[in-house]
Amino acid sequence: MKKLIAGNWKMNGSLAANEALLSALAQGLAVDQPLCDVAVCVPAPYLAQVHALVSSQPALSVLGLGAQDVSNQASGAYTGEVSAAMLRELGCRYVIVGHSERRQYHGETDAVVAGKVQQALAAAVTPIVCVGETLSEREAGQTEAVVKRQLAAVIHANGHCISEIVVAYEPVWAIGTGKTASPEEAQAVHAVLRAQLKAATDQAARVKILYGGSMNASNAASLLAQPDIDGGLIGGASLKAPDFLTIIAAARA
């Protein structure tokens, strides 16, 4: 299957910075069109701007637009929330769901994450479902139990269409720290997730499993060479056009 490289801008950007970044990406993509799927998941206030910029520049037509969060409710009195239908109307093809920062800082439970996945799928937006363990959980030998529990909640709530999701393994201890799971460590967890998906659906081969813990220009190729790593969820490196383009190029191999 085609690999997927998805940038997560987190709470970064400005109107001017976004335009400059996308312009630099356009120059690179015009020279070297990717053989993988590419997405940028941007802060909600900038979705309309980025959608307009992507739509107006032919070289950026390969970029899928993504959001960073979605409500687990379809509509109603939920001040500050953004529904999946709204994201779809703004041109979003993807939305990140259950990122560890949402779980840690906003108290999102496995059940809440599963509900958000449900809403995204109902609106035909592909959820990038994040799972991953903390450093203390890894040191306690709980990595497999934690990621399987997190994914099981999503499978239980969305079993009939689970093959429509993307999964991102993001060891919490490797996010924004500069630490990265070795290719072998990452592959071991990806293999566990692949087996869990195969047990849930005969369409498991359609599900991309991304690695999301400090993948960057220097380590992308070795991570992407692993048999069960189908792409990357890229944080800081997605804000630097040369680095993001290098990672995209590594996904071609």
Which residues are annotated as catalytic?
99, 170
Residues 6+ apart with CB under 8 A from 34: 5, 62, 248, 249, 251, 252
Helices 241-250, 15-31: axis angle to 10 degrees equals 40
C-alpha of 64 from chain center = 12
Cβ–Cβ under 8 Å, residues 28 and 241: yes
Tokens 């659906």, residue located: 201
Q: For the stretch 56-76, what's the b/e string if a residue is b when 16 or more beta carbons lie within 10 angstroms of its beta carbon?
A: ebebbebbbbbbbbbbbeeee
Cβ–Cβ under 8 Å, residues 24 and 59: no
C-alpha of 31 from chain center = 25
Number of other residues whose CB lies within 10 A of the CB of residue 109: 12
Cβ–Cβ under 8 Å, residues 40 and 50: yes
